[in-house]
Amino acid sequence: MSAASRHRHGGRANEQGAEPLVPIAVLEVELTRPLESIPLTDPSGRRYVSARVLVRLHTKPLGMVDVVPGYGGFLPASYAAVIWQQLADRINLHLRDDGFPEVVGIGPAGLLGHEAPPCQARRREILARAPRATVLVCTRDRPDVLGRTLSSLGKLEYPDYETIVVDGSSTSESKNLVLFDFPHIRYVRLAGGRLAVGRNRGLAEASGEIVAFTDDDAVVDRHWLAEHVAAFDDHGRVACTTGLSVPLELATPAQLWFEESGAFVEGFERRMIEVAGRGRRSLLPYATGKIGAGVSMAWRTSVLRRLGGFDLAMDRRGGEDVAAFFDALCAGYQIVYHPSALVFHEHRRSHEELRRQIYNHAAALSANLTRCLVTKPDHVYDFAVRVPRGLVYGFHPDSIRNHQKSAEFPADLTRVEWLAMPTGPWEYFKGRLEAKRLAAFARG
- Give the DSSP letter string of 285-333: TT--GGG--GGGEEEEHHHHHHTTSS-GGGTTT--HHHHHHHHHHHTT-
CB neighbours (10 Å) of residue 352?
Answer: 11
- Looking only at the bridges linking them, the beta strands covering 343-345 and 245-247 are parallel
CATH superfamily for domain 123-443: Spore Coat Polysaccharide Biosynthesis Protein SpsA; Chain A (3.90.550.10)
Dist CA 85 CA 65 (whole Å): 10
Spell out the per-residue pLDDT of the chain, length 444, in tens: 433 333 333 333 345 446 667 899 999 999 999 999 898 999 889 999 999 999 999 999 999 999 998 777 789 999 999 999 999 999 999 999 998 999 999 999 999 877 778 888 878 888 899 999 999 999 999 999 999 999 999 999 999 999 999 999 999 999 999 999 999 999 999 999 999 999 999 999 999 999 999 999 999 999 999 999 999 977 779 999 999 999 999 999 999 999 988 767 678 999 999 999 888 788 889 887 678 999 999 999 999 999 999 999 999 999 999 999 999 999 999 999 999 999 999 999 999 999 999 999 999 999 999 999 999 999 998 888 888 776 766 666 665 566 677 888 899 998 999 999 999 999 999 999 999 999 999 987
Buried-state track 282-320, b at ≥16 Cβ within 10 A, e below 16? ebbbbbbbbbbbbbbbbbbbebbeebebbbbbbbbbbbb
Q: Look up residue 38 and give its amino acid.
A: I
Dist CA 250 CA 22 (whole Å): 7
Dist CA 354 CA 254 (whole Å): 6
User: Is 358 strand, coil or helix?
Assistant: helix
Strands, sheet with 24-30, edge to edge from the N-terminal-most edge strand: 24-30, 50-57, 60-67
Q: Range(s) for CATH 3.90.550.10 in the chain? A: 123-443
Reply yes or no: is the peptide bond before residue 285 cis, omega within 30 of 0.
yes
Dist CA 179 CA 184 (whole Å): 8
> Which secondary-structure segment (H or E) carries 138?
strand 133-139
- Give the DSSP letter string of 1-36: --GGGG--------TTS------EEEEEEETTS---
CB 341 within 8 A of CB 296: yes
pTM of the model: 0.91
Angle at 245 between CA 244 and CA 251, to 5 degrees: 150
pLDDT in tens, 331-360: 999 999 999 999 999 999 999 999 999 999
* Residue whose C-alpha is closest to residue 264's, from 215, 204, 328, 302: 215
CB 325 within 8 A of CB 371: no
Burial of 155 (0-12, 13-18, 19+ CB in 10 A): exposed
CB 31 within 8 A of CB 56: yes
CB 322 within 8 A of CB 290: no
Burial of 443 (0-12, 13-18, 19+ CB in 10 A): exposed
